[in-house]
Chains A and B, each alone.
Chain A
Amino acid sequence: MNESFNKFKKKILLEAIIKSVGIAVAVGLLCFTVPYLIVEIKKINVNEFFVLQLIFISYGVMIILFGLLFLILFPRKLKVAKRIDKQLDLKQKVQTMVEYENVDNPMTNYQREDTLKILSNISLKKFAMKFSVFFFVLVSIALALGVTTIVVASIEDTPDGPPIIEQPSYDLDNWTVRALLDLIEVVENSNINKDLKDPVVQNLKSLLISLEVVELESEMKILVNEVINDTSLRLDLTNSNNEVYHELKESGSPLVKELAVQINTLNVSNITNCIENFYVYLAGDPATVKEAIVELDNDFRAIISRSNLNQNEALTAALLKFATEIKNCEDASNVNESLSLVINNNKDSILDIIKIQAENKRIIEYVVSQLKVIFGLNEANSDINNDPDTNKPIINPVEPPKIPEGDNQGGYGTGEELFGSDDIMFDIEKGSVKYGEVISKYYGDLVGMFNDGTLPEDYKEFFDKYFDILFGFIEEEDSE
């Protein structure tokens, strides 16, 4: 066959390639888009492996189908001849030429020459490629589904609803670690109840560990709030003052009522006064003392006994013992003396318990307030001064706040004589120390900082005055 025939064959070959590629790609696309859209429309949960599988299957189908179609559509000679005859209405001339290609006969030779002459005179433009409606429909459907898939996928990427605000991240810094470690040390060095101390320390340590992996500020706040809530709850479980208050406030005795109020506030000096007032209230004429004791007994011991209070709990037990012993004074030969003895004996034991609970409260409230300051949870954050260098809140490096005591009492109200220089303060290296023991060192450090230029000279006068005052107090205390 000469070029006249081959030019048609090449065009049919191109058509076969276009058809094979078109149908293979279309079917491959359908294999991916149809299941994908079904999954998306029906909201079926699938993993990435499913999509990967779909992609592989689609490519497989595409390649196999292309191969098969190309084999089927490949333009073999006779097929090309029939196609040319049909399309150009050549009345089986080309088919005859091909079938009789190897026949050497004058008539067939003449037929061949004639056909080739006709073919050479036909422009290839007149021989158009033919694509069936099915081809266009299939390709159109595949394209439409492809576009739909892209649109659906893009809608998924930008979901409806309010835009998600990026949450602020959280990164645990050294300052926070240091502040938390200091707080833990304060708790460990405190004299609070061991049943309270251990879990609080443990909670703080766990918080420190947890914060190392926390990435969002919101998560941090949740953790810290959990610790705060748990710590506060543990204080309520450990301290019984509040429960005692609720039971005793119903008493008919003003004396017991006042005691209940003072126990609730954990004010040591007031509680001392209240206990001592028992003697003032009861002592006197032996004839009336007994009557007063009986009356008090109904409003004090009886209430405790009937209450839901755990009578093994230290404070409840101490109060019950106190009330019982007062009742026992009724039968004493010298009621007044017995009362005095009972009151003195029980006052210390009750106050010891109160002091522990007061310390519990003081430390826990300190822990909670410090946690809020450290992690910025305090609503009154604006009142907290920030360090200009670190932009972090300034943690009070001194001792935790004290429980207010009586106006005319000093120290911790234990009866011993205490001075300001005995006040406990927090030291980074030593933890809790009396400030009188370290003030000289602090002053020495400060002078050193002025000397080496770490601190500007402008502040020297201010700090000198400050330390002069402190040293002045210490001198006064020494002289006392």
Chain B
Amino acid sequence: MENNVSLFSQTIENIKNEIRKDLVGQDDVVENVIIAIIAGGNVLLEGVPGVGKTRLVRSLGKVLNLPFSRIQFTPDLMPSDVTGTNIIQKDENGRMQTVFQEGPIFANLILADEINRATPKTQSAMLEVMQEHKVTVANTTYKMAEPFFVLATENPIEQDGTYPLPEAQMDRFIFKLIMEFPTIEELANIVKMTQITLDETANAVVDGPTILKMRDIAKDVPVVDDVLNYAMHLVAATHPELESANDVAKKYVKYGASPRAGQALITAAKIRALMHGNYNVSYEDIDALAFPVLRHRIKVNYNAINDHLTVEDVIKLLIKENKKQVK
């Protein structure tokens, strides 16, 4: 076990190092993406064009040595373009038969680029595969190869002709990560790097089975009742309709996070703890992951907008209130 735990930290460090070869900065995003992959969750990446969303996923595909697909979502993209479809094909004997033609979703790593540009119909085609890791076409269900990971991107600007993701689909993403514009220094490094080559130079340091093994290891990380209770209170605190809701939620939150948020918090916290060399989950892990877990699961109301509060600001206030009440 000791070897496995050491291997866990070492592997993650190797992944990070390889990704850094192709991606400058965005350490938090990289870390959280790795957590999400190990946790078996999907990630929604939000950022302006050119900050490295696609490059991150492509680099991850190489580092993880997993089959990688990129789907560019457009308004005319059909569900079958994603999942695949049955086609009529002649066999060796010249007889006509129906053959399932796999769509780009059949890979371990999926980059759903600009997912909000597709119609809701196409977006909903992603629901089953994201949650259950399987696709049903013409009454036939096809299971995805594990590990399966969807990394969707969306552009916060250019909202014309986009279709906001429905809440149910948003809830399927374990994290919503924000890729900030790089600093001047980072920008300079990006330019220098791309002057040499535009191709990803990262090497594969891990494979699918190792990721699955790491997932199993992380499940055993102990969580004391107080920390678990703290995390659950934080999730519950996002619901203004509950009696136990604090003043912040009542004032600024329109609707709160689903129970999946609680699961996501604890699962991710266990992995984060191991990544940071701890063998138990701490309050710090919960607080750190509260932002990526909750920011796409709660919707702030008009009061927050009126008070110029972002979702992040409200989450900060919720964490602060939760500490007072629970700790």
Report B36-63 CB contacts with A as 1/0, cut-off 8 Å. 0000000000000000000000000000
Q: How far is the CB of B224 from chain A (nearest CB, A)?
A: 5
Report B207-246 CB contacts with A as 1/0, cut-off 8 Å. 0000000000100111111110000000000000000000
| Contact between A110 and B2, CB atoms less than 8 A apart | yes
Within 8 A of B (CB), among A259-285: none
Measured CA separation A52–B193 after assembly (Å): 89
Measured CA separation A111–B221 after assembly (Å): 9
Which residues of chain A are within 8 angstroms of B220 by Cβ–Cβ distance? Answer: 105-108
Q: How far is the CB of A96 from chain B (nearest CB, A)?
A: 4
Measured CA separation A103–B2 after assembly (Å): 17
| Contact between B280 and A92, CB atoms less than 8 A apart | yes
The interface stretch among B85-93, B281-289, B305-313 is: B281-289
Interface majority SS on A: helix, strand, loop or mixed? Answer: helix
Would A92 and B2 be within 8 Å (CB), given that A105-B220, A107-B222 are in contact? no
| Contact between A110 and B5, CB atoms less than 8 A apart | yes
| Contact between A103 and B222, CB atoms less than 8 A apart | yes
Measured CA separation A110–B273 after assembly (Å): 14
Is A340 on the interface with B (CB-CB < 8 A)? no
Measured CA separation A95–B278 after assembly (Å): 13
Most buried by A among B220, B226, B278, B280: B280
Measured CA separation A133–B281 after assembly (Å): 33
Count of CB-CB pairs between chains A and B under 8 Å? 52
Q: How far is the CB of A113 from chain B (nearest CB, A)?
A: 9
| Contact between A91 and B221, CB atoms less than 8 A apart | no
Q: How far is the CB of B9 from chain A (nearest CB, A)?
A: 12
Measured CA separation A477–B221 after assembly (Å): 143
Within 8 A of B (CB), among A106-123: 106-111, 114
Question: Contacting B280 at CB < 8 Å: which of A82, A96, A106?
Answer: A96
Measured CA separation A111–B223 after assembly (Å): 11
Which residues of chain B are within 8 angstroms of A110 by Cβ–Cβ distance? Answer: 1-2, 5, 279
Would A95 and B279 be within 8 Å (CB), given that A107-B1, A107-B5, A110-B2 are in contact? no
Question: Contacting B222 at CB < 8 Å: which of A82, A91, A111?
Answer: A111
| Contact between B224 and A92, CB atoms less than 8 A apart | yes
Q: How far is the CB of A323 from chain B (nearest CB, A)?
A: 119
- Across the two chains, which residue of chain A brings its CB closest to B226? A95
Question: Contacting B224 at CB < 8 Å: which of A95, A105, A106, A114?
Answer: A95
| Contact between B281 and A92, CB atoms less than 8 A apart | yes
- Across the two chains, which residue of chain A brings its CB closest to B218? A107
Within 8 A of B (CB), among A11-41: none
Within 8 A of A (CB), among B255-293: 278-284
- How many A residues, CB 8 Å from partner? 17
Which residues of chain B are within 8 angstroms of A99 by Cβ–Cβ distance? Answer: 222, 224-225
- Across the two chains, which residue of chain B brings its CB closest to A106? B1
Is A100 on the interface with B (CB-CB < 8 A)? yes
Which residues of chain B are within 8 angstroms of A355 by Cβ–Cβ distance? Answer: none
Measured CA separation A111–B5 after assembly (Å): 10
Report A52-86 CB contacts with B as 1/0, cut-off 8 Å. 00000000000000000000000000000010000
- Across the two chains, which residue of chain B brings its CB closest to A86? B327
Measured CA separation A92–B286 after assembly (Å): 12
Question: Contacting A92 at CB < 8 Å: which of B5, B217, B227?
Answer: B227
Which residues of chain A are within 8 angstroms of B282 by Cβ–Cβ distance? Answer: 91-93
Most buried by A among B224, B225, B281: B224
Measured CA separation A105–B2 after assembly (Å): 12
Most buried by A among B227, B278, B279, B282: B279
| Contact between A91 and B1, CB atoms less than 8 A apart | no
Would A96 and B5 be within 8 Å (CB), given that A91-B282, A91-B284, A111-B279 are in contact? no
- Across the two chains, which residue of chain B brings its CB closest to A105? B220
| Contact between B1 and A93, CB atoms less than 8 A apart | no
| Contact between A100 and B2, CB atoms less than 8 A apart | no
Measured CA separation A100–B281 after assembly (Å): 13
Within 8 A of A (CB), among B109-158: none
- Across the two chains, which residue of chain A brings its CB closest to B1? A106
Which residues of chain B are within 8 angstroms of A96 by Cβ–Cβ distance? Answer: 222-224, 279-280
Additional 19 contacts, C-beta under 8 A, given A93-B279, A110-B279:
A91-B278, A91-B280, A91-B284, A92-B227, A93-B278, A93-B280, A95-B224, A95-B226, A96-B222, A96-B280, A105-B220, A105-B222, A106-B220, A107-B5, A108-B220, A109-B1, A110-B1, A111-B222, A111-B280
Sample of 10 A–B contacts (CB below 8 Å): A91-B278, A91-B280, A93-B278, A95-B226, A96-B222, A96-B223, A96-B224, A100-B224, A106-B1, A107-B279
Lowest 7 CB-CB distances: which A-B pairs, in order? A106-B1, A91-B282, A111-B279, A96-B280, A107-B220, A92-B282, A99-B224
